[in-house]
Structure 1
Amino acid sequence: MYRLRCLMLLLLLSGCSGNVKSGKPAEPAKGDNRPAVNPAPVGEAQTQPTLAPVAASAPLQRQVRTRSLSPKPIRITVESLPKPYHSNSASRSPDVVPVPANPVLDVPAGFTVNVFAEGLEKPRWLALTPSGDVLVTETPQNRIRLLRDTDGDGVADTTKVFATAENKLHLPLGMAFAGGYFFLGNTDEVRRFPYTAGSDKLTGAGEKIADLPGEGYNQHWTRNVAVSPDGQKLYVSIGSESNADEEPLPRASVQVMNKDGSEQKTFAYGLRNPVGLDFHPVTDELYTAVNERDGLGDDLVPDYLTRIRQGEFYGWPYAYFSPANLDPRLVKNGQSLEAELVKRTQTPDVLFQAHSAALGLQFYDGQTFPEKYRNGAFVAFRGSWNRNQGTGYKIVFVPFNSSGRPQGGYEDFVTGFLLDPSGPTTWGRPVGLLVMPDGSLLFTEEGNNRIYRVQYQPAAVQRPAQNPS
């Protein structure tokens, strides 16, 4: 009996050891001076007090309690926008606090949330390898980690270093696979590496296939990459070097090139910081999520999601959303500094609350979420700094119609990170998104160095909520 008790004690202690599945909250990120912003003033989602159940498959210590969220449509129109300088231009950096001892997130009924991985270092972007492993960029560390869920419980139990600065990583972000290659968006170049399915580590430095302008204004160093549905073209997003100054291309644009980097040209431009890139799973059309400019007031200029096509111009820095909406900082004698170009300004498909910092974009092509989410888009709001009341710090959903076009509005999907908009104070800053083969949705959270997993489990709705350990 004594030996049996000892064995049980050892098993209990081993289950609490500090590995990838540890339930210990990560320390808050240090030195992030980027401020944040507030829930949209129109159509803010309401939450119900009843706690929903936690994920049935994930280990108890990795589950996150949830409340049932009743999303309301949020729709911002060009006509409803205020005039420039309608309010003072705030500078409010977010206070990112540690994960609460008993955290709660708000999601629509039937959805569950668990911690997929933690203990990372500034996790940003996500990608899926051909063999089903998860890659995550730890950008400031010039590192990519490979995460694997070997037992299928929705939690990563294996982590390996996939690539480092020795592989010529320099502020890496976007990742893609095509034609036997792994493509990587460094801040100042696109690099590709030979890749064999099943490989869990890059070897060598690969080859540089395209030079890009490096870094940029207020974290506009991000270079995303996306391969066309036919596997023939590579699309690369490049942010501006400034908030709202005149700059030469390829700044503030999406570039297109062959997979060897040849024949590079501008695909769409006037896009201040087009970080998220994804192709609609039915129409194969390219969409981007864009961070718009600062300094014009709390509700200007909205971030947005839009389809982009060859040669289109989206206004930055001279105008926004319409030839009639001129940026006053680039006007002389009542006329835009580029009056003819401004006439071509396109109106985006969906406007988001200004200063939300829309980053990750992922169309839902899984099969487990309810029908309304099929072929719609999820967008991660990191939260920004240029607003008197904080907004962002959440995941939103953009519904698309049967013709493969957005319906004009969006709604909250995962909220609860923002504790105090007046600070703002938050325990989460979502960035990257990824749909998994099992239909679940992953998103990175760089404030406390985690990756969360959202899954739909309607059978669990009647179960009582449980507290995480």
Structure 2
Amino acid sequence: MKAIKWTSFVLFGLFIGMYWACYARDTAPKPDISALKLPAGFSIQIYSKLGGQYGQPRMMTFDAQGNLYVASPTSGQILMLQDSNGDGLAEPPIIIARQLNAPNSLTFVQDAMLVSNQDGIVKLTKTSNGWSAPQPFISGLADGGHTLKTVRLGPDGFLYLNVGSTCNVCNEQEATRATILRYTTEGKPAGHLITVGKHAPSAIWASGLRNSQGFAWHPVTGAFYATNEGADNRSDTARGRVNDEIPPEHLNIIVGGKHYGWPHCWGNPSNLTQMVEDPNFTAPSQFCTEATPPVATFVSHSTPIGITFLNKSQFPVEYQSDAIVALHGSWNRKQPSGYALVRVKFKDNQPIGVEDFVSGWLNGQNAWGRPVDVAVGTDGALYVSDDRTGYIYKISYQADKKK
């Protein structure tokens, strides 16, 4: 038991080091919410200032009562934010759980809360005094590499979670790497491949996904949409110079049993029916022609993470069939990309384009904020987590602001 605790401590320390090396290595300008640009009629405010003892917020979930729950990997906590007096600002956070192993997200299943640690899922149960201590629910998930995991309950009653790759481009030795997994709400593997006999059941639902941290289901069609981060330092010619404009980041519709191209190929923004083969990591025969292309793309290395549909928002009707995606931002481009929210526009329940929704976190070569997740609250506003400032923002719409 002591060895396990020590290993978890070391892994968490490594995560903190990687976090600051990748996300906070530059000197960020001072936060300036007035610099944020939104469409006419929209306003943004700071709903909560976290950071410090509460750590940096990542993925978020609302309960039916309108309480906002936030995972903080850097502090190992799950936080609850409330606006009891209705003034639009959260009261000081309530700590629901502590000393977790880099928790990145949570989802509710009836009276239970499931939290995604970097090495597994733990379960907290509602009690008369709050929440129980976390208990193991799904154990032994591959950790290290892209260590943060997201768990969501799908409309089909199954749990879905991502396991990122260990690397930039490689052939993984662990089958669950670069996948989305599926489990029952009892924690049993429920992957696409049906196993019989002595074979252990697999949890793998879809593969070829370098790191898909954000996912949501279309409110009409039920299609399972997931963001995905492409590889870094690629060239469009064999042994050529790095081209910062490739590969694009993906928005995929996840279908059980499908492969989405990584590590050998990526989507073609000019023709979304095609995949482009990496000339420096060539694929086996027919691999790229059989891979499933994305349904939309984002600027290369912009790191799309959180996604939410707007059907329950109080935004104008022309927005309510669309989705918002948080672009966390690049880390090694000469000209940084991302650090923004984008709107994925839909027509007839199909994505038709991507446009800016909120920008201004990037100032020259440095960014003062990094949006992570987006969630529509029970009040119809859009909430945004930022793991650089520690802020949770609230975006609202008022028609008279257009005048």
Amino acid at match of 2:378: P
**1:131 equivalent in structure 2:** 65
Aligned partners of 1:161, 1:400: CA distance in 2, in Å? 38
Aligned partners of 1:241, 1:184: CA distance in 2, in Å? 22
Q: Which runs of 5+ in 1 are unaligned?
A: 1-28, 37-92, 463-469
**1:288 equivalent in structure 2:** 226
Secondary structure, counterpart of 1:262 in structure 2: coil
Aligned partners of 1:182, 1:210: CA distance in 2, in Å? 16
User: In the TM superposition, what is the alpha-carbon distance from 1:33 to its structure 2 partner?
Assistant: 2.5
User: In the TM superposition, what is the alpha-carbon distance from 1:103 to its structure 2 partner?
Assistant: 3.0
What do residues 209-231 of structure 1 show as CA deviations (whole Å, max 9, x unaligned)?
Answer: 24310131xxx21211111214x
Partner of residue 343 from structure 1, selected from 278, 284, 289: 289
Secondary structure, counterpart of 1:267 in structure 2: strand
User: In the TM superposition, what is the alpha-carbon distance from 1:94 to its structure 2 partner?
Assistant: 4.3
**2:276 equivalent in structure 1:** 325
Instruction: Identify if the C-alpha distance between structure 1 residues 410 and 139 changes in structure 2 by more than 3 Å, giving closer, same or farther.
Output: same
Q: CA RMSD in A?
A: 2.1
Aligned partners of 1:307, 1:123: CA distance in 2, in Å? 27
Amino acid at match of 2:207: Y
Q: Which runs of 5+ in 2 are unaligned?
A: 1-16, 192-203, 235-242, 269-273
Q: How many residues align?
A: 358
Q: How does 1:32-431 map to 2 (within 5 A)?
A: 32-34=20-22, 94-100=26-32, 103-120=34-51, 121-165=55-99, 169-195=100-126, 201-216=130-145, 220-230=146-156, 232-247=157-172, 248-265=174-191, 266-296=204-234, 297-321=243-267, 325-331=276-282, 336=283, 338-402=284-348, 404-407=349-352, 409-420=353-364, 424-431=365-372
Instruction: Identify if the C-alpha distance between structure 1 residues 215 and 372 changes in structure 2 by more than 3 Å, giving closer, same or farther.
Output: farther
User: In the TM superposition, what is the alpha-carbon distance from 1:353 to its structure 2 partner?
Assistant: 0.3
Amino acid at match of 2:63: T
Instruction: Identify if the C-alpha distance between structure 1 residues 347 and 124 changes in structure 2 by more than 3 Å, giving closer, same or farther.
Output: same
Secondary structure, counterpart of 1:103 in structure 2: helix
Over the matched positions of the two proteins, sequence identity in percent amounts to 30
Instruction: Identify if the C-alpha distance between structure 1 residues 113 and 30 changes in structure 2 by more than 3 Å, giving closer, same or farther.
Output: farther
User: In the TM superposition, what is the alpha-carbon distance from 1:286 to its structure 2 partner?
Assistant: 0.8
Amino acid at match of 1:291: E
Contact 2:315 2:396 in 1 (8 A): yes
Amino acid at match of 1:445: D
What do residues 53-105 of structure 1 show as CA deviations (whole Å, max 9, x unaligned)?
Answer: xxxxxxxxxxxxxxxxxxxxxxxxxxxxxxxxxxxxxxxx64322214x7321
User: In the TM superposition, what is the alpha-carbon distance from 1:194 to its structure 2 partner?
Assistant: 2.1
User: In the TM superposition, what is the alpha-carbon distance from 1:30 to its structure 2 partner?
Assistant: 12
**1:18 equivalent in structure 2:** none
Aligned partners of 1:208, 1:260: CA distance in 2, in Å? 8
User: In the TM superposition, what is the alpha-carbon distance from 1:145 to its structure 2 partner?
Assistant: 1.1
Give TM-score, length-normalised by structure 1. Answer: 0.72
What do residues 358-395 of structure 1 show as CA deviations (whole Å, max 9, x unaligned)?
Answer: 11111112241011211311111111123110111111
Contact 2:267 2:297 in 1 (8 A): no
**Structure with more contact order per residue of length (Cα contacts < 8 Å, sep ≥ 6):** 1
Rg larger in structure:
1
Instruction: Identify if the C-alpha distance between structure 1 residues 325 and 114 changes in structure 2 by more than 3 Å, giving closer, same or farther.
Output: same
- Name the stretch that deviates more: 200-209 or 357-366: 200-209
